Amino acid sequence: MSPEAPPRRARAADPRLDTVPPPPADAATKSAGDRSSVRPPYLLDFFPLESERETRLHRFYERLAEGRLSTTRCPKEGTLHWPPRTACPSCHTEELEWVDLPERGTIYAFSAVLAGAPLGMEADLPFAVGLVDLDGAPLRLFGRIEGASYTDLRIGETVRVESYEVGDGRVFYRFRAGPGPGGPPVA
């Protein structure tokens, strides 16, 4: 990894504690459709552990918290990876660099989950998901698509990348359809 500023927020103050801090009181209202304020047990939680003491990819989440979707690139070959990596799958160098990704993309395929949601996502039903070709980057990312009913989405439609707070200090990314206001702009 290329050297970069240290993480700007530390989450779990005491590393001996095997818990995360309780979510802020307004967490449930920060973004519609997100999880309730009750965090599921780690082994039933799809959202990853994001801090520096839990993953070598913590910069991905730190940049995401600033509204920047990013990934790793191999400096030797210029290849973009998805998901971000700690070693290049082609030349196996571990000296990778972080790059920001485009903030817009085009829907390649989509569907919706109308029933059968995993634990913690039942209240989200129905929700749309899709594969999105990022504009100007050779990556086709899978993700939740907010901001429109699946019946109104179309292949070829433009969507925006946005980051959001999971509700307990963690962040994740998703797509938002239509021209309306989304999350913080992506750099």
Partner 1 sequence: MSGRAVALVGGATTRFGVRPTTWAEMAQEAGAALFRAIPELRADECDSLFVGAAEPERFAFQSHVAPLAAEQMGLRPRRILQRTELACASGQSAIRSAYAAIAAGLSDIAVAVGVEKMNLPSMAEANSAMGCVMDRPWDGPHGATAPPFFAMVAQRHMLEYGTTEEQLAAVSEKNHRFANTNPTAQFYAKSFTRDKLLRLPLVAPPLRLGDCSSMTDGAAAVLLVGEEFASRFTDTPVWVRGTGQYSDFHNLANAGSLTDWVGLKHAAREALGRAGITVRDLDLAEIHDCFTISEIVEYEALGLCGPGEGGPFAADGRGDVGGDLVVNPRGGLLGCGHPLGATGIGQAVEVYQQFAHQVPPSRQAPDPEWALVHNLSGSANVHSVMVYGRGRAA
Interaction site with partner 1 (CB under 8 A) = 44, 46-48, 82-83, 108-122, 124, 127, 129-131, 139-144, 150, 155, 166, 172, 174
**Residue 182 beta carbon to partner 1: minimum distance, rounded to whole angstroms:** 16
Q: Give 40's contacts (C-beta < 8 A, 6+ positions apart).
A: 119, 120
Residue 144, binding choice from partner 1, Zn ion, none, Cβ under 5 to 8 Å by partner class: partner 1
Q: Which is nearer to partner 1, 107 or 186 (CB)?
A: 107
Angle, CA of 126, 180 and 100, to the nearest 5°: 90
Q: Which is nearer to Zn ion, 88 or 153 (CB)?
A: 88
How many residues touch Zn ion under the rule CB under 5 A: the total is: 6
What character string, x for contact with Zn ion (CB under 5 A) and - otherwise, covers 62-101? ------------x-xx----------x-xx----------
Q: Which is nearer to partner 1, 48 or 184 (CB)?
A: 48
Cα(149)–Cα(156) distance, integer angstroms: 16
Pairing of strands 171-177, 140-146: parallel
**Residue 103 beta carbon to partner 1: minimum distance, rounded to whole angstroms:** 17
Q: Which is nearer to partner 1, 1 or 80 (CB)?
A: 80
Could you tell me how many residues make up the chain? 187
Q: Give 138's contacts (C-beta < 8 A, 6+ positions apart).
A: 80
Residue 20, binding choice from partner 1, Zn ion, none, Cβ under 5 to 8 Å by partner class: none
8 A C-beta contact, residue 184 and residue 174: no
DSSP code string of 43-60 = GG--SPP-STTT-TTHHH
Q: Which of 71, 52, 90 is nearest to 134 (CA)?
A: 71
**Residue 80 beta carbon to Zn ion: minimum distance, rounded to whole angstroms:** 11
Residues that bind Zn ion (CB under 5 A): 74, 76-77, 88, 90-91
